[in-house]
């Protein structure tokens, strides 16, 4: 069974973060699916919208839920991030309708423009989950299996705004605008650190170091 390896990770949570987690646990106490609710709340409150190892450890300690179960939930659901998210999120649909209308090319161009690599290994699977973040953490590129807007294919979501019938030119324009705007999170950087992060189907480096989990599903 995976186990949390280092007690020192607890120390990176400050009092405010612990209080927030305590409140999330209290709010979901006795509710069906309480763990998922807690994880969702904690992630939403994080500046970089991810679940840090110290946060997961703290949740385990405070709830008595086995760490392996918590990590399994956090790594299984696409909703949860184990690495810090960029200031902006661009999500490319890789469902069948979007794929047949060129979403693969859009993804390739997007990653090329942003200097991201690592998406090439996903080329044989339309719906494989992917999440890559630029080194400056301005943009995270994700893929999704389907937005449920197939008639508008190819579909790309930019910061929760759905764009329809996207072509390379419109996507390039959107991304250019994103990379030129100010970074509101700079002044609020939390304990997640500033290291460039990549998330795909592998376990986050911090969790690998801690000896947790078998891998993201
Ligand atoms: S396949 Fe892209 S929205 Fe459904």
Q: Residue 141 corresponds to which tokens in the numbers above?
A: 């590129």
**161 C-alpha to ligand 1 centroid (Å):** 15
Q: Report the 10 Å Cβ neighbour count for 77.
A: 13
- One domain, residues 72 and 133: no
User: Is residue 155 lining ligand 1, measured as CB closer than 6 Å?
Assistant: yes
Ligand 1 atom at minimum distance from 99 CA: 1
- One domain, residues 129 and 170: yes
**98 C-alpha to ligand 1 centroid (Å):** 5
pLDDT range class, residue 104, cuts 50, 70, 90:
very high
Per the structure, the complete domain to which residue 63 belongs is given by 7-83+201-209
- One domain, residues 110 and 69: no
Into how many domains does the chain fold? 2
pLDDT at 75: 86
Rounded distance between C-alpha atoms, residue 171 and residue 216, angstroms: 29
pLDDT at 11: 53
Residue 216 covered by a domain: no
Above 80 in pLDDT, residue 167? yes
- One domain, residues 56 and 118: no
* Mean pLDDT calculated for residue range 175-190: 63
Rounded distance between C-alpha atoms, residue 179 and residue 177, angstroms: 6
Angstrom CA distances, 64 to 35, 36, 80, 145, stand at 11, 15, 21, 34
- One domain, residues 30 and 71: yes
User: Is residue 156 lining ligand 1, measured as CB closer than 6 Å?
Assistant: no
């Amino acid at each position: 069974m995976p186990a949390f390896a280092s007690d020192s990770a607890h120390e990176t949570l400050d009092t405010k973060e612990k209080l927030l987690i305590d409140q999330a646990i209290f709010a979901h106490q006795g509710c069906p699916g309480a763990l998922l609710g807690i994880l969702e709340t904690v992630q939403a409150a994080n500046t970089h919208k991810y679940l840090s190892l110290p946060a997961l450890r703290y949740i385990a300690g405070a709830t008595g839920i086995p760490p392996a179960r918590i990590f399994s939930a956090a790594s299984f659901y696409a909703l949860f991030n184990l690495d810090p998210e960029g200031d902006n999120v661009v999500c490319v649909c890789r469902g069948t309708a979007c794929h047949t209308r060129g979403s693969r090319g859009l993804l390739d161009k997007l990653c090329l423009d942003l200097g991201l690599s690592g998406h090439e290994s996903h080329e044989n699977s339309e719906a494989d989950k992917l999440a890559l973040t630029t080194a400056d953490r301005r943009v995270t590129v994700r893929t999704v299996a389907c937005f449920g807007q197939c008639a508008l294919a190819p579909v790309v979501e930019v910061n929760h705004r759905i764009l329809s019938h996207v072509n390379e030119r419109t996507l390039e324009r959107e991304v250019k605008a994103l990379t030129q705007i100010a970074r509101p999170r700079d002044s609020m950087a939390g304990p997640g650190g500033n290291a460039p992060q990549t998330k795909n189907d592998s376990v986050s480096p911090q969790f690998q170091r801690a000896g947790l989990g078998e891998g993201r599903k």
